[in-house]
Amino acid sequence: MRETTLEYAKKLDENDALNSYRGEFYMQPGTIYMDGNSLGLLSKRAEQSLLTTLDSWKKYGIDGWTQGEHPWFYFSEALSKMCAPLVGASEEEVIITGSTTTNLHQLIASFYHPKGKRTKILADELNFPSDLYAIRSQLALYGYEATDHMKLVESRDGHTLDEADIIQAMTDDVALIVLPGVLYRSGQILNMKVLTEAAHEKGILICFDLCHSIGSVQHELDEWGVDFAFWCNYKHLNGGPGSTGGIYVNHQHLGQNPGLAGWFGSDKEKQFDLAAQMTPAPDAGAYQIGTPNILSAAPLFGSLEMFEEAGIDAIRDKSLKLTDYMMYLIEEELCDYSFTIANPREEERRGGHVFLVHEEAARICKALKEHHVIPDFRSPNGIRLAPVALYNTFEDVWNTVQILKEIMKEGTYKRFENKRDVIA
């Protein structure tokens, strides 16, 4: 029997197998951080791996490319080996490189080949806008208008997508599909296995944006037969602001020339031949464009080490318990204050955060920050609260809901303007 008491929250923390990892992160005293799905916190291990890389630069200079604990020439490949299990892939299918949008541009440029009536790219209206910007610009390179060649699946409720609607939109004029693994607003997990099977039955390639799912939920991209995927590493994977992103290319597509060629996509045995004709790497490394952002990738060595130790299954299990407990407390303690829980309730459809809708959302988020709770506002009326398994506690969840209740009861949120700041 669940309870709404602080003692019950503390009891849950006492039985938490991952509670030792909280001490690995820099937590600001008196602050409850609930925005790990936008930017994960810095860990001591990530800090140390960055300092180790800086030391290599200091000690070796240019020889750091081949010397030191993690030689820079093989930096991306070493991180790819650590990251591959989180997406259910072999290390040859993964490369840590670029940024989210750059990597999407690379995948579209490499694998979008309009032919005959198959010229359209299928996406959804709830996807993060940057993905849609990239799709539009890639279509424009072919002289296509997005209004005619980008199909957007509509949401029935403004928060979630129905897989049946997506499958229905997989018509014979679609050449490529780009969808989120987890919707950034509502936290809905799309059934990637079912969608991939449906796409392949219709002869369509499918790609997933894993920015809000990697490090939060399990993936089996190889088993599901997903063609391509891309992601950032600064949310649940705690790689730091602007951390280097990632690409997955299914083994069946390896060996094709990258659409956007650059010298770090070369076969490493031939790269420094500096030949006029590029010889692409035989693995996902071919989809690198420029020199790796070494200092932006370095923190991932420390962060991914913790994921290897803890295991994504245990992380997902705690994440589900945290969000379930948060929803329970919201329904018990905030029932008089017009909040709507707009994320899916089912565990198989719920990602790593709770999405609340309230007409005063912007000013409520400002009031939470004044009380040292860090939420995330999403225009026009959404509040995202992300209790992260590696560093948040059940007591954090309990305190967050109690502070939210006090803000609503006392009406202190009314002191703030109900619109977002420059950065929401």
Q: How far is CA 266 from CA 273, 277, 282, 287, in A?
A: 10, 10, 9, 9
| Whole-number Å distance between alpha carbons of 296 and 245 | 9
How many residues would you count in the chain?
Answer: 424
For residue 417, the model assigns a pLDDT of 86
- Residues making up the binding site for pyridoxal 5'-phosphate: 100-101, 128-131, 209, 212, 234, 263, 291
Unique residue bearing structure tokens 């490090």: 215
- The rounded mean pLDDT for the chain is 97
| Whole-number Å distance between alpha carbons of 38 and 132 | 19
Sorted by where each starts, the structural domains of the chain and their CATH numbers stand as: 6-30+311-415 (3.90.1150.10), 48-308 (3.40.640.10)
- Residues making up the binding site: 100-101, 128-131, 209, 212, 234, 263, 291
DSSP characters over 317-339: HHHHHHHHHHHHHHHHHSTTTT-
Kindly report the pTM of this predicted structure: 0.97
For residue 1, the model assigns a pLDDT of 82
| Whole-number Å distance between alpha carbons of 417 and 420 | 8
Q: In this predicted model, what pLDDT tens digit does every residue of 71-123 receive, in sequence order? A: 999 999 999 999 999 999 999 999 999 999 999 999 999 999 999 999 999 99
Strands 150-153 and 120-124: parallel
For residue 419, the model assigns a pLDDT of 82
The single-letter DSSP state of residue 120 is: E
Q: In this predicted model, what pLDDT tens digit does every residue of 208-235 receive, in sequence order? A: 999 999 999 999 999 999 999 999 999 9
For residue 422, the model assigns a pLDDT of 61
